[in-house]
Amino acid sequence: MYRSRRARSIENLIKTIEKLSIDPVYDTNWSDMSDDIKLKCIGKLEFKERLSLRCTAKEERSLVDSQKIKFNRGRFWGDEEDLGFQLYCDNKKMFSKCLEDINDGFELMKYIKKIGVFENLVISFENSLTNHEQFMTDDGLFTAKTVEFEHGDVDNVIAVLRKLKNTVESIEIDSEITTSDEFAKLLAISNIRNVPYWHIQDYEQTDSLHKVAQMWIHTKAKVGSTFQVSVNKNSSFHEFWEHFIDRIVSKTDKRVRIRTNDPDHHILLERGFDEVVEIGEYLTQYFRLMVITAEMNESEYNDDCKEWILKLDPEIYDEYDSDNSFDNLDDFYHEE
Amino acid sequence: MSSTEQGTSSAAPAEPTTAPESAAAPEVPESFYYVHGKDKVVHKVSAGALQHSALIHGMISNLGYTEEQAKANPFPFENIDGDILQMVVDWCNQHKGKPTPPEDTNLPKQKEKLFDLVLAVNYLEIKELLTYCCKQVAMMVKGKSPEEIREIWMIPTDAEDEAAEKEAKKRAGKEAAGETAAAAGDAK
């Protein structure tokens, strides 16, 4: 009995050894991968996992930080108490965080700024960014194709514009730009001077059109450069043609076309109004300013201004539609 | 025999290994090559399947081996475990001449095997398979915390890294001192 148990043990041991010699012993791990392979794997990680990986060790942090990640939309928001982030990939929210510790928030922002390549970036800060040393002293730049500013003052807008790569194609400002001085500060920013499209919603002065045109004449802006503005005062159009009275090529109640110093380029100002958007002393006015080729014929002008007005005020036609629905309701009752 | 030696051993044009099956529709016969890993087990793989590997494809593109020559000179990949090479060969055969699907669910799930496969695939320059493998590696840590990732991927902490570096320096210093002492002894 004793001998047979021992024999069985020996048999088992032999089997185990045989098995060990057949199955290779693996001891390869993440640390055995070259940086090139690690970077390929990091490229497949989602944002949350990248954040975790960069907390494991210094070496991993520097690798993770060297790898860009594409977001189709990012929203950075903040007030006196919190700092928040929402990041979207393929139109799906992939990361959302609200941090009460502002310092942690700016640290996270620094990382996102470093690795994020944004299709659309929305900046919405109610409090002043300029008071935060962490933000102001960070040299990193945002990479974004389009930028939208919600809320905040001109100093916030300028602080972010200064931290934006000059590859930006569109800047939309829905912040409080109230005075001519603030507008002048914006015009001094290189991204504003070079961006193909920018707009301001609800500017409170009437000097924006001629100032932008003057800047474009000075900077020899490219054909296609566009500025749009909605204004709640009445004399922007008038101020523009009066300012450029010596340069006027043509003028109607809807358009003014002026010469620039380049014989091949003209600047066209259009006033947006139609059966919905009307011109009136107390109504918001919509303008579009564009650099065009001098050869452009008047027959090539597009009279449909709805599309570009919607960029400035996406809800204006909704209001009209709802007005109409009331009209229809009246009709309905009349018919009854 | 090393792959370099193989590469220079013959430049003869490839000869058909089998006669065409039909005289009416003559087909170019497929040529085969042989590879082995650390375990010396030889795998027969078609040139079509080997096209996935940029490394091997570059090696065989101007080789012009006959079947016999190819059989006699298998490509040795001593740095790749036998079963890992088997996986690579299977994948190349499965995807021979086919568009690669966006996902590959047949990859190993065990981390060590997967990391070995990654290293092999990277060495053999099989781009699509490397992409799948990297995706699989990334999936291992989906939703994990830094501590969990460190555990799964066995990432040493900064302190462990520093200690290992210190130890390596100490060892190198000792070895250098030993060599100097030995050289001084020889001079005497």
Chain A residues within 8 A of B82 when measuring between CB atoms:
24
pLDDT at res. A87: 96
Computed on alpha carbons and rounded to an integer, the radius of gyration of chain B in Å comes to 23
* Predicted confidence pLDDT, tens digits, chain A (336 residues): 444 544 444 445 444 434 433 344 446 889 999 999 999 999 999 999 999 999 999 999 999 999 999 999 999 999 888 899 999 998 888 899 999 998 899 999 999 999 999 999 999 998 888 888 888 988 889 999 999 999 888 999 999 999 999 999 999 999 888 899 999 999 999 999 999 999 999 999 999 999 999 999 999 999 999 999 999 888 899 999 999 999 999 999 999 999 999 999 999 999 998 888 887 767 889 999 999 999 999 999 998 999 999 999 988 888 666 555 445 445 444 443
How far does B54 lie from chain A, in Å, by closest CA?
17
Chain A residues within 8 A of B85 when measuring between CB atoms:
none
Chain B residues within 8 A of A45 when measuring between CB atoms:
138, 141
**B82 interfacial to chain A (CB closer than 8 Å):** yes
pLDDT at res. B2: 33
Most B CBs within 10 A among A31, A52, A55, hence the mutation to make, goes to A52
Report whether A52 contacts B149 (CB < 8 A).
Answer: yes
Flag residues of chain B having pLDDT under 70: 1-28, 102, 104-106, 187-188
pLDDT at res. A319: 65
Q: Dihedral sign, CA of B150, B151, B154, B157? A: positive
**B112 interfacial to chain A (CB closer than 8 Å):** yes
pLDDT at res. B71: 84
pLDDT at res. A312: 93
Report whether A153 contacts A124 (CB < 8 A).
Answer: no
- Chain centroid to Cα A208, Å, comes to 22
**Amino acid letter, A239:** E
Most A CBs within 10 A among B87, B111, B115, B154, hence the mutation to make, goes to B115
Task: Give the closest residue to A118 by CA, choosing from A130, A107, A105, A109.
Answer: A109
**B112-126: buried (b, 16+ CB within 10 Å) or exposed (e) per residue?**
bbbbbbbbbbbebeb
pLDDT at res. A191: 96
Rounded to whole angstroms, the Cα distance separating A195 from A169 reads 6
Distances (CA, A) of B176 to A133, A161, B166: 50, 56, 15
Pairing of strands A116-125, A69-71: parallel
Distances (CA, A) of A329 to A128, A317, A323, A332, A336: 47, 18, 10, 5, 11
ipTM: 0.75
Classify residue A71 by its DSSP letter: E
Tell if the CB–CB gap between A29 and B111 is shorter than 8 Å.
yes
- Enter the pTM of the model: 0.77
How far does B55 lie from chain A, in Å, by closest CA?
17
How far does A210 lie from chain B, in Å, by closest CA?
54
Rounded to whole angstroms, the Cα distance separating B37 from B45 reads 13
Tell if the CB–CB gap between A57 and B112 is shorter than 8 Å.
no
**A31 interfacial to chain B (CB closer than 8 Å):** yes
Q: Considering the domain delimited by A224-336, tell me its CATH architecture.
A: 2-Layer Sandwich (3.30)
Segment 19-78 of chain B within 8 Å of chain A by CB = none
- Quickly name the fold that domain A69-195 has: Nucleotidyltransferase; domain 5 (3.30.420)
Of B112, B149, B158, the CB nearest to A26: B112
End-to-end CA distance of chain B: 44
pLDDT at res. B25: 58
**B137 interfacial to chain A (CB closer than 8 Å):** yes
Which 3 state secondary structure label does DSSP give A309?
A: helix
List the domain boundaries for chain A: 37-67, 69-195, 224-336
